[in-house]
Structure 1
Amino acid sequence: MKASLLLCVIATVYLASAVPIKEEELGVYPRFVTFPDGEGLPHVADLQAEPDHALLEEIHRDPANNLYLLFTRNNPTQAQTLIINNSESILNSNFNPEDNTIVVVHGWLGGQDAGINPTIRDAYLGKGSANVIVLDWRRLALSNYVTAVIGVPDIGVGLGQFVRFLISVTGIPYESIHLAGFSLGAHIVGNAGRELEGRVARVTGLDPAGPLWIYNDNKITENDGVYVEAIHTNGGVDGLGIGDIVANVDFFPNGGRSQPGCLTFLCDHDRSWELFGASVTYNHLTGTECESSWQVTFNSCSGAPFPLGNDDLNKTGSGFYRVNTGRRYPF
């Protein structure tokens, strides 16, 4: 009985300290917000939903309990499963230490079949040899939005632990690793980069989720990698993405709120990973540096040019940029 009571107390203390939601944030957004799932279909998120404390406690105890799926040019569509603390799963796979590694992380209600995964996978493998690892964190992602938000830091820690294990087994350098995540996944890769002390070459946030994140200390930041980039396609308090500058370089395509060819904010939100995938293939989207949010909104930026996205692991820069795109792929 005493042991059970002690466990309850520990769990309560952990959950109280882990909840990143601040009261002022609830007033920024309406209570109900509609997000796309992995297939772009709408689902309502209740920002005042009760968290699933049991699930959060379990994830906190074992943050590495995620699914890591490897794709290479030798297995471009059939995944090989990599398992943390199981070196044979890596050594017996097609993972090539000579190639760069990109880790792709889906958003809320997604999974291994979410549209972001084949889009970015095919862009990388269509261009050259690479290790493309898809993180499937659906166990938490399929919970209510509030629960998923609270659990994001632990999923990020788990990803960081996996990357550290991958490095220990294969000897690959931090300079060969790029972490890219969409929506809640953007904050996951930020936390993973933080777990790795900001040493990975690149961290990319694809329209990082906005609801319950504006005042959240666990959101993606410019310190999470050697170079951190954010692509904002549906930002602001009336959108699904965070409209704030969060990275070394922040891009605001077409003003960063709505996108040409999109009729819904769900499409606007998803456009971030579509633009990134196209940029890996063509490296054709160039932003213009801005001095103010007014310039971003009214398309009057006149500063230096800088490329959006791409797969360059030596990329460096700072500032915020507007880039104008087309209505359809490759934009």
Structure 2
Amino acid sequence: MLEHGKIVVMKPNIMMKLVALLFVVATVLFVNSSPVPKDDAEYNRFFEYTGEDGEIHTIDLEAEPNMEVIEEIERNPANNQYLLFTRSNPNTAQSLLINNAASISSSNFNARLPTVVIVHGWLSNQNTDINPVIRAAYLGKSDVNVIVMDWRRLALYDYATAVRGVPAVGRGLGEFLRFLSSVTGAGLDSMHLVGFSLGAHVVGNAGRELGGRVARVTGLDPAGPLWNYNSNALGANDGIYVEAIHTDGGLVGLGIGTAIANVDFFPNGGNSQPGCLTGICDHNRAWELFAATVTYNHLIGNECSSNLQITLNNCRGREFPMGNDDLRKSGSGMFRVDTGRRYPF
């Protein structure tokens, strides 16, 4: 090294320590920026979540779930609402009821068309932005049945209770779709289940209830807290093709930051999104991006061979489209896609 104009030779043991220190610093920087597995224990017990209502909610990951509510949800899948929208009724819902064939036969449901099911996340309902935005994208693109599932009966409870009840809600959705298929003849291979955050795990459990026979299952930033290493989380066998889009997967992000599906997309690295200043903005960007791809099918990712490639943005593998409305989509691997700050990104 150079010191006051003279060359100073460092002792080998000092050089080794310096190299080791630089390695540790580089490792820490990589871990904090990469989509790597995280244990639920790494989350603080308490953290704040800003809902779409603008209110700040405190999540207690160690809270005791309300088992009375969960048992009721398990006993009665009819707690969930299924609201049908078609091009004949794009803005006014028709209610479909499980075990009520007349509610289906008297509706505008068309078994010859593909069916898209949209499932919201925690603290949300049928009117939350994800539902009208994705619904409008689909109906503006093609003639389909859009079913919005409202599971607010559980979703408005505390986070720990909602998480514990997700498998039962998902099974209820699966039972409803099985009934819908039996009444109308609509094939499971004509159905695409789309869920956001906790809703991603709901559609995963619904697909599992149906033996993984639905055409597509898409998880939009699947919820992370209490879901890492959770056997009820969305998985690659929950549909014929399963895709996950990760937008807030940092070490304490709201989403799972690791590959869990057949194809996993990590927009802009998967942790933070252009134009976002908050975690909830990063989290919501998943469904915003998906809706844009339904309309334009314009966001193309490159396959990555490692998490490091995702982080360093040097994925040079094959190209593959993120999202879209292709019911016969298939593939595997991890992909990074870079987007803009504003719609359509």
**Structure whose CA Rg is larger:** 2
Aligned to 1:140: 154
**246, 249, 253: which one aligns with 2:267:** 253
Question: How many Å separate the matches in 2 of 1:49 and 1:87?
Answer: 40
Aligned to 1:198: 212
Paired residues of 1:198 and 1:224 also in contact (CA < 8 A):
yes
Shift of 1:63: 2.8
Amino acid at match of 2:267: P
**Distance 1:162-1:38 versus aligned 2 partners, 3 A rule:** farther
Query: Which region of structure 1 is more displaced relative to structure 2, 200-209 or 167-176?
Result: 167-176
- Cα offsets for 1:246-303 (capped at 9, x unmatched): 1000000000000001111110000000000000000000000000000101101000
Shift of 1:44: 2.1
3-state secondary structure, aligned to 2:294: helix
Paired residues of 1:251 and 1:287 also in contact (CA < 8 A):
yes
Question: How many Å separate the matches in 1 of 2:116 and 2:133?
Answer: 13
Query: Which region of structure 1 is more displaced relative to structure 2, 38-47 or 293-302?
Result: 38-47
Question: How many Å separate the matches in 2 of 1:154 and 1:25?
Answer: 24
**99, 115, 122: which one aligns with 1:85:** 99
Matching of residues 159-170 of structure 1 within 5 Å: 159-170=173-184
Moved over 3 A (4+): 38-42
**Distance 1:273-1:40 versus aligned 2 partners, 3 A rule:** farther
- Cα offsets for 1:136-184 (capped at 9, x unmatched): 0001000000000000000000000000000001101111100000000
Amino acid at match of 2:87: R
Question: How many Å separate the matches in 1 of 2:264 and 2:142?
Answer: 27
Question: How many Å separate the matches in 2 of 1:173 and 1:33?
Answer: 42
Paired residues of 1:105 and 1:181 also in contact (CA < 8 A):
yes
Question: How many Å separate the matches in 2 of 1:180 and 1:316?
Answer: 16
**237, 240, 243: which one aligns with 1:229:** 243
Shift of 1:25: 4.8
Structure 1 alignment gaps of length 5 or more: 1-23
3-state secondary structure, aligned to 1:48: coil
**Distance 1:198-1:72 versus aligned 2 partners, 3 A rule:** same
**225, 244, 264: which one aligns with 2:258:** 244
Aligned to 2:5: none
The TM-score with structure 1 as length reference comes to 0.91
Aligned to 1:55: 69
Shift of 1:125: 0.5
Paired residues of 1:38 and 1:113 also in contact (CA < 8 A):
no
Paired residues of 1:38 and 1:107 also in contact (CA < 8 A):
no
1:178 correspondence with 2:192: yes
**Distance 1:40-1:194 versus aligned 2 partners, 3 A rule:** farther
Query: Which region of structure 1 is more displaced relative to structure 2, 24-33 or 72-81?
Result: 24-33
Amino acid at match of 1:138: R
Paired residues of 2:115 and 2:145 also in contact (CA < 8 A):
yes
1:292 correspondence with 2:306: yes
Paired residues of 2:194 and 2:218 also in contact (CA < 8 A):
yes
**289, 297, 307: which one aligns with 1:283:** 297
Shift of 1:38: 4.2
Matching of residues 10-29 of structure 1 within 5 Å: 25-29=39-43
Question: How many Å separate the matches in 2 of 1:39 and 1:132?
Answer: 24
Question: How many Å separate the matches in 1 of 2:318 and 2:207?
Answer: 28
Paired residues of 1:40 and 1:267 also in contact (CA < 8 A):
no
Paired residues of 2:40 and 2:228 also in contact (CA < 8 A):
no
Q: Percent identity?
A: 65
Matching of residues 111-150 of structure 1 within 5 Å: 111-150=125-164
3-state secondary structure, aligned to 2:228: coil
1:46 correspondence with 2:50: no
**283, 287, 301: which one aligns with 1:269:** 283
Aligned to 2:122: 108
Paired residues of 2:304 and 2:317 also in contact (CA < 8 A):
yes
Question: How many Å separate the matches in 1 of 2:263 and 2:80?
Answer: 29
Aligned to 1:99: 113
Paired residues of 2:40 and 2:227 also in contact (CA < 8 A):
no
Shift of 1:35: 2.9
Aligned to 2:32: none
The TM-score with structure 2 as length reference comes to 0.87
Aligned to 2:317: 303
3-state secondary structure, aligned to 1:27: helix
Paired residues of 1:39 and 1:114 also in contact (CA < 8 A):
no
- Cα offsets for 1:2-26 (capped at 9, x unmatched): xxxxxxxxxxxxxxxxxxxxxx955
| Count of residues paired in the alignment | 308
Question: How many Å separate the matches in 2 of 1:37 and 1:185?
Answer: 15
Shift of 1:65: 2.4
Shift of 1:28: 1.9
